[in-house]
Amino acid sequence: MKWMSLRNALLGLLDDDEPASGYELMKVFDSSLANVWPATQSQVYTELNRLALDGLITVSATGPRGRKDYAITPAGKQALRDWLGSTPSHRPHRSGLLLRVFFLDSIPDDQARDLFVDHREQVRAQRDRLREIGIAITDGTDVISTHGRIALEFGLRKAEMEMAWADWALDQLKR
């Protein structure tokens, strides 16, 4: 069975054998995983309900105002390990930007240049946010900080490459 990444992200967050509420999971998700796999609060809670129905997590405690603490089950641990041990599929990535690049001859040159300038600035802002996260996770003692730093470095390097590519593309348009 092909597993959705949000499902696996939530299983991974619960894999430390510490139950957590949806609110607590959302806080950790927003401060770390959302940079590589964004999800809304409603998506997270919907997926938690599905995971519970599938027997991969259980509600370990309930509290005031309907608060639920979730814990991973042995089946959830096995599902996470199966997913981690499988080879990721490498399907072509959909890119609205690159699709536009193929048809740049349909717009005026100044609009084409603006496309690359805007992209470069959006990526620069993303890179700056990632740098701030890097500063915030300085202790590196928890698993998310340690392994998250590897993912963070990918994001930083990708941003640098995309900014350089946008500058190169702007140079190409000048010719």
Per-residue model confidence (pLDDT) at position 110: 95
Per-residue model confidence (pLDDT) at position 35: 72
DSSP the chain: ----HHHHHHHHHHTTS--EEHHHHHHHHHHTGGGTS---HHHHHHHHHHHHHTTSEEEEEE-GGG-EEEEE-HHHHHHHHHHHHSPPP-PPPP-HHHHHHHTGGGS-HHHHHHHHHHHHHHHHHHHHHHHHHHHHT-S--SHHHHHHHHHHHHHHHHHHHHHHHHHHHHHHHH-
Per-residue model confidence (pLDDT) at position 151: 85
CATH class given for the domain over 5-85: mainly alpha
> pTM of the entire structure?
0.71
Per-residue model confidence (pLDDT) at position 1: 40
Residues 6+ apart with CB under 8 A from 31: 133, 136
Per-residue model confidence (pLDDT) at position 142: 60
Percent of the chain with pLDDT over 70: 93
- Among 136, 139, 138, which Cα is nearest to 35's? 136
Q: Kindly give the parts of the chain with pLDDT less than 70.
A: 1-4, 138-145
Per-residue model confidence (pLDDT) at position 18: 87
Q: What are the boundaries of each domain within the chain?
A: 5-85, 96-174
